[in-house]
Amino acid sequence: MNKLSEAEITEAVSELTGWKLEGKFIVKKYRFQEFLKGVAFVNEIAQLSEEKNHHPFIAIDYKLVTLKITSWNAGGLTNLDITLAENYDSIYEKFSGK
């Protein structure tokens, strides 16, 4: 897995909705109407992350879930991080009804 260049990162993050670059991470906050919907969302994120053997940092603050992704082995962001961000957004759409 190869680390993306600064130009590739800038372009990839600009194509994601709501994701922000913070150092070696991309970060997004997801808001839910109910606490347990956020927890269910996290369970699906955890399942997918386990299948891909690539795990984000996850914080649950009541109805707000924050995900942070990077590839430690590559020393920064890779295509897998970008793909998982897109997958996480798709999972959120299912929970948010959007």
Domains and CATH numbers, the chain: 6-96 (3.30.1360.20)
Give pLDDT tens digits for 81-92. Answer: 999 999 999 999
As a whole number of Å, the CA-based R_g of the chain is 13
Query: Does residue 97 register a pLDDT over 80?
Result: no
13-40 pLDDT per residue, tens:
999 999 999 999 999 999 999 999 999 9
Q: What pLDDT score was predicted for residue 98?
A: 58
61: left (phi over 0), alpha (psi -120 to 50) or beta: beta
Counted residue by residue, the chain has a size of 98
